[in-house]
Amino acid sequence: MVAVQAGLGTILGRCLCQLGRFDEAAPHAAFARHVDPDEWSWRVVQARVHAYRGEHAEAERLAREGIAICEQTDQLTWQGDVWWQLAELLLAAGKIEDAVDAFEEALTRYERKKNLAMVAQVQPRLSALRAEASA
């Protein structure tokens, strides 16, 4: 039951981050970390909290740890999601070229999964960033 609460907490934490309520998201990530320190999802939430606080190096480190863990699964949509999150964190840190690379990784996974809704979201974002990077 505690593992379920931790899983739901990370979902809630991601939702709170989407709403810009990062300080409220942090305890959910901390609880999930306590329950399952080897899980990828709490890292994504905590990485977003660090990015909000301007702690870009720590945010990137946690996101990349989350990717390494998630890449060991066969969950292509989750993998795409963690790459997307890394891309957003890299953008916040001003690393446009690295963000393009991360969005490309996300797109690859969404395409392999045939997750057309996510492909449709990533492609225009990626095109705009490529244009910005080459300008």
**pLDDT tens-digit profile of 64-104?**
999 999 999 999 999 999 999 999 999 999 999 999 999 99
Please report which helix (H) or strand (E) contains residue 19, including its range. none
Q: What is the arithmetic mean of pLDDT over 22-50?
A: 92
Residue 81: the pLDDT is 96
Whether 135 shows a pLDDT value over 90: the answer reads: no
SS3 75: coil
Tell me yes or no: is domain 1-72 CATH 1.25.40.10: yes
Identity (one letter) of the amino acid at 101?
D
Asked if 106 and 87 touch (Cβ cutoff 8 Å), the reply is yes
For residue 124, the SS3 value is helix
pLDDT at 25 over 90: yes
